[in-house]
Amino acid sequence: MGQLLINGLGTGLIVALPSIALSLSFGILKFPNFAIGAMLTTAAYIAWSLNIHAGLPLLAAGALCIILFPMVALLCDAAVFRPLRSRGPVTLLVASMGLSFVLDNVCRLIFGNDARNFDIALSRPYRVWGLRINYELLVSAGVSIGAMILVFLILKHTSIGRAMRAVADNPNLAAARGIDAKRVIAATWILAGVLIAASGVLIGMDRAIDPQLGWNYIIVCFAAAILGGLGNPAGAVFGALLLGVVGELATLVVATNYRSGVGFLVIALVLLSRPNGLFGTREIVK
Amino acid sequence: MPGVVTVSDLRTGYGGDDIINGVSFDVHPGEILTIVGPNGSGKSTLIKSLAGIVPARQGTISLFGENVTALKTPQRIAKGLAYVPQEFNVFRNMTIAENLKLSTEFLGLRSHDGNQERTRVLEMFPDIADRQDLLAGNLSGGQRQMLAFACALISSPEVLLLDEPSAGLSPKLVIEIFEKVKAVNELGTTIVMVEQNVAASLPFSDRAIVLVNGAIRHESSAAELSARGDLHELFLKEA
Amino acid sequence: MIAYLTTIMTLVSIAVLIAFALNVQWGMCGMVNFGLAGFVALGAYTTALISLNGGGFFVSVFAAIIVCAVMGAIVSLISMRLSEDYLAVVTLGFGEIIRLVTLNEGWLTGGALGLPGIPRPMIDVIGTDHYEVFFLGICVVIVGIVFAGLEIATRGPFGRSLRAVRDDDLVASSLGKNVLLLRVKAFAVGGGITGIAGSLQAFQFSYIDPSQFTAIMTAYAFMAVIAGGQGSHRGLILGACSVMFLLEATRFLKDVVDVLDNSQIAAIRLILIGAGLILLLIFRPQGLLREYRLKAPKSSPSSADSTAT
């Protein structure tokens, strides 16, 4: 039971990062980015080739990936989303699905279908009060928590962070006040890119890297973001942790294969009972 | 003497049809000019066009003799204009302090200068000055309007555009808001406002324009318009 | 070559049906369905299970229609009060659940191996020699029936209300509850059509397994609807055909460039699908892609302004 709780929190922390990215970009760009999974895959492969082909230690490869990947995100925005910006959320979300196909299969084309692993030494898990705690779990928890603190400091205490929140809050007023939307959008993709890159690397450490990597996380990321109220990054963290734990505990009752189904079930229940997320106030009801 | 704002033959609108059909007027320095008119007369579109939010399709808008028709909102703000939208005019999920900070940051003020500006403006709005950590969404309608004014005044604008400042407020608050508008005006800011509430706004105004169907029906001093008994006829769609 | 063309045409017919379904849901009503493949799978498995247990052609197709229509109604009900974004997520999740069930419930679905030996309708009468052509005939007739049905329906009261909703937000909101009911209906109708498509898929291959129902199937339908023009059934048939033929053509890439292996060819095809989807959205919006949204007027009067660009 305690072990499940720890595993669940570990998974939750990793999922929290892309969920924040999803929630943040939904709040500011006003469309759900279905390419989030493919972006995770892409980031993991970038780190993997830096690690294996360029021979960098994983820490350096991961750090470089965190710097490089936001540029990929900006490029995707310039090529796909910017030309469609005025067309409304439905067009953008369909386009994000198209982008997801492109990214996933560029990875498949270059790296093939085989599962890849980072060059890391296996380490014995620590034992605390009879609970197994992996070294990877500690690293990913540290990185996740660090990244989250960074994001919330940026959102709360920098001028670009405030501008981002202002655009998410009331885009018309932000425009009337003269807030530079282009700058805010770029900042959003950079921040989302950093979060996605970091979690792509962590997921790659947690399991093997293959072209399906990100696809397995789309639903749980959306579930976490919706649970926390789409557009509310702090809520997304809570949603991710809750889902991580629920997902692990659910293995006590249902087959492990259905773990990703639990996410869907949670979305359905939340949408039926609390359409704004557990503590959302945003008006999403038609 | 040239107007602070000069509008000549302005045409604008959304989508297919023009909503403003060739409007010309001057705003005199230091005055409160109130634009009134029936629902759908194009008042709101007109003031949005002055603010640079709805682009002009024809005609010119000048600020201190300089043609600003092609400029967007941020550039017009830099030239001394400020605009307070109708309702939804504060960031509700942000605190009072953050709302104000956004305004100073937009101007590119250093944190020290920003603090000074905020303190200066807040002196005029004691109601909100002592609860800066409150979320703007939790404020009352009147306080939100005050905060919106304060945010607009951060840039020390010479011309302040107000879109229906009294919308959705109780009669008592309406008077308070107009008193505040007057106070801001007395400190030297020229004010152009659009108002639905003719009776309450005219006593605080210097001049008035009646806009009907996107065209100026009447222009006079506010006192003269108040004195006319045929306001209803003026507001009718067909002249 | 004839056999190959017959097969392709049959697959195009099935793709056209799926695109019809998406067109009712997305093209006419603005509701995104990312779980199309799941619906088709549901139809295919329903048909397969019934015909493997002795049900006839009509019984099994009819059952697939009912099951998928009911499921469509339920899925849209979950997000009935919410915006399209949420429906997209819910349908994606639904597709995933169907995939998990088909993969893991071996006792029912045969798991990854799937269900073999689905009896093809009237094969003992027609014989195997010309069966493919006969089956193509069945598919074409069904496409024709669905096409006619949709054309009539969109000209009747159902289509009128859809158009009212799509052309004028205010009318939509004044219809109030009817708009919500309309969404559920449109989703159920679309669901029913995917059920037919699933049935035909099952009969065409005479075995089904989870790998036949992937996101590619969904992407095809989106491309066909965008290429053919949202809302137009005739344009859509054309769209589905051109998309299918273009993508089939990439199969011959292998003969031209022999350095690529099969999985790389598959990847290239999928890249083309994704890129094609994006390019169509960007470059062929007018007439081909109008966005019909079911949205109540926003509470802010200033929302007519453009939002952040």
Q: pLDDT in tens for each of the 239 residues of chain B?
A: 467 899 999 999 887 778 898 899 999 999 999 999 888 888 999 999 999 888 899 999 999 989 999 998 888 988 899 999 987 899 998 999 999 988 888 777 677 777 888 888 888 888 888 888 899 999 988 899 999 999 999 888 999 999 999 988 888 889 999 999 999 999 999 999 999 888 899 999 999 999 998 899 889 899 888 888 777 777 776 55
CB < 8 Å to C267, chain A: 105-106, 108-109
Chain B residue with CA closest to C298: the answer is B88
CATH assignment of B5-235, given 3.40.47.10, 3.40.309.10, 3.40.50.300, 3.30.70.100?
Answer: 3.40.50.300
- Is position A184 within any domain? yes
Q: Tens digits of per-residue pLDDT, C170-226? A: 565 565 556 778 888 889 999 999 999 999 999 999 999 999 998 888 888 888 888
- Residue C182 has a pLDDT of 82
pLDDT at A196 over 90: yes
Structure-token pair, residue A170: 């009331």
- Is position A220 within any domain? no
Chain B residue with CA closest to A159: the answer is B105
Select the residue from A160, A164, A169 to test the B interface by mutation, using most B Cβ atoms within 10 A. A169
Output the pTM of the full model: 0.84
Residue type at A180 in one-letter notation: D
Of the candidates A16, A31, A30, A18, the residue with the CA atom closest to the CA atom of residue A239:
A16
Collect all residues with Cβ–Cβ distance below 8 Å to B124 and sequence separation of at least 6.
B150, B153, B180, B183, B184
Residue C78 pLDDT level (bands cut at 50, 70, 90): confident
CB contact under 8 A, C305 and B53: yes
pLDDT at A158 over 60: yes
CB of A187 less than 8 A from some CB of C: no
- Is position A245 within any domain? no
Structure-token pair, residue C108: 């029912």
Domain ranges of chain B: 5-235
Chain A residue with CA closest to C302: the answer is A172
- Is position A243 within any domain? no
pLDDT at A63 over 70: yes
CB of A39 less than 8 A from some CB of C: no
Report the alpha-carbon distance of residue A177 to residue B195 in Å, rounded.
21
Q: Enumerate neighbours of C (3 or more CB pairs within 8 A).
A: A, B
Chain B residue with CA closest to C302: the answer is B86
- Is position A248 within any domain? no
Q: Which residues of B touch A (CB under 8 A)?
A: 51, 53, 72-74, 77, 83, 85, 88-94, 98, 101-103, 105-106, 151
Least confident of A64-68, A177-181, B230-234: B230-234
Helix, strand, coil distribution of chain A in percent, nearest 5 = 75, 5, 20
Residue C287 pLDDT level (bands cut at 50, 70, 90): very low
- Is position A261 within any domain? no
Closest chain B C-alpha to C106 CA, distance in angstroms: 50
CB < 8 Å to A162, chain B: 94, 98, 101-102, 105
- Residue A272 has a pLDDT of 75
CB < 8 Å to A262, chain C: none
The whole-number average pLDDT for the span A243-268 is: 81
Residue-averaged pLDDT of chain C: 81
Residue C167 pLDDT level (bands cut at 50, 70, 90): low
Contact between residue B123 and residue B129 where contact means Cβ atoms under 8 Å apart: yes
- Is position A232 within any domain? no
C93, C302, C303 ranked by CB distance to A264: nearest:
C93
- Residue A284 has a pLDDT of 39
- Residue A286 has a pLDDT of 32
CB of A263 less than 8 A from some CB of C: yes
SS3 C287: coil
Select the residue from C169, C302, C305, C307 to test the B interface by mutation, using most B Cβ atoms within 10 A. C302
Q: Which residue has the higher pLDDT, C33 or C183?
A: C33
- Beta strand spans in C137-293 (E): none
Strand order in the sheet with B81-84: B81-84, B159-163, B190-195, B32-36, B207-212, B215-221
pLDDT at C166 over 70: no
Residue C301 pLDDT level (bands cut at 50, 70, 90): very low
Instruction: Number of A to B CB contacts under 8 A, please give it.
Output: 54
A93, A219, A258 ranked by CB distance to C85: nearest:
A93
Collect all residues with Cβ–Cβ distance below 8 Å to C252 and sequence separation of at least 6.
none
Chain A residue with CA closest to B114: the answer is A159
Q: How many domains does chain A have?
A: 1
pLDDT at C284 over 50: yes
Residue C290 pLDDT level (bands cut at 50, 70, 90): very low
Report the alpha-carbon distance of residue B142 to residue B169 in Å, rounded.
7
- Residue C246 has a pLDDT of 73
Structure-token pair, residue A67: 């710097």
Least confident of A53-62, A232-241, C80-89: C80-89
- Residue C294 has a pLDDT of 34
The whole-number average pLDDT for the span A96-104 is: 94
- Residue B33 has a pLDDT of 95
Closest chain A C-alpha to B106 CA, distance in angstroms: 7
A255, A261, A275 ranked by CB distance to C96: nearest:
A261
Of the candidates B62, B42, B153, the residue with the CA atom closest to the CA atom of residue B100:
B153
* H or E element that contains B81: strand B81-84
Least confident of A9-23, A162-176, A253-267, C278-292: C278-292
Closest chain C C-alpha to A135 CA, distance in angstroms: 31
- Is position A264 within any domain? no
The boundaries of the domain holding residue A83 are 2-213
pLDDT at C169 over 80: no
- Residue C231 has a pLDDT of 64
Residue C235 pLDDT level (bands cut at 50, 70, 90): confident
